[in-house]
Structure 1
């Protein structure tokens, strides 16, 4: 049986809702949908590109704690309330995922906090 390890970002949402920022099972890393909140200050920028950059920093931190980088990401999911907000984020996303070229899905739908304009979820494989 594979060992299971949870990673927390320190977000108050994790305790309130009952989830982890990431879960490592064997060689697989599952990072929860991550918004652009700065968890140190629990603040969020207004514009989508700044939010996307913070999402990626939050994800990079979780991946680092798991022992991997964006290069090991095999699946990414983007969730946005407004599809027009996706294309302005492409340069940041290409910089993060251009090397690993993961399978990807973009969905349009409401997010929990109305201030959130993008949420990103990734799966990675260690090593």
Structure 2
């Protein structure tokens, strides 16, 4: 099967050895995505703003492969404060009401920067 890779252009992709997203066949995997905008954290201190920004970034990845949010079958959300689940869930709902992918949200001790509150990855399956 053909393997299509999407790079975001960040220097750490080559250092760590990963891609922003990969499409193999009709499956798209989007790597853990944070609210980084270049070297700046978007929505510092606001879990809803970060989650919304992240889903917008993920949507652009899917569009690159000719897909959309309607093709997402799984979301995984890693959050540093589970008490903010409603705000993060609100952003999730704005993108996925009516699509209803399976979803996981777990609290983690920390992310790569203390200003990051949420990291999200998705799996999408594009219909043939």
Q: Report how many aligned residue pairs link the two structures.
A: 124
Q: What is the root-mean-square deviation of aligned Cα atoms in Å?
A: 1.2
Secondary structure, counterpart of 1:105 in structure 2:
strand
- Structure 1: 4+ residue segments shifted above 4 A: none
Contact preservation (8 Å) 1:49, 1:89? yes
Structure 2 residue runs without a partner (length 5+): none
Deviation at 1:16, TM superposition (A): 2.8
TM-score (norm 1): 0.90
TM-score (norm 2): 0.90
Aligned to 1:94: 93
Q: How does 1:42-121 map to 2 (within 5 A)?
A: 42-44=39-41, 45-46=43-44, 47-109=46-108, 110-121=110-121
Contact preservation (8 Å) 2:80, 2:117? yes
Superposed CA deviations along residues 48-87 of structure 1, whole A, max 9, x for unmatched, are 1111121011101111111111100001000001101221
> In the aligned structure 2, how far is the partner of 1:43 from the partner of 1:95?
24
Structure 1 residue runs without a partner (length 5+): none
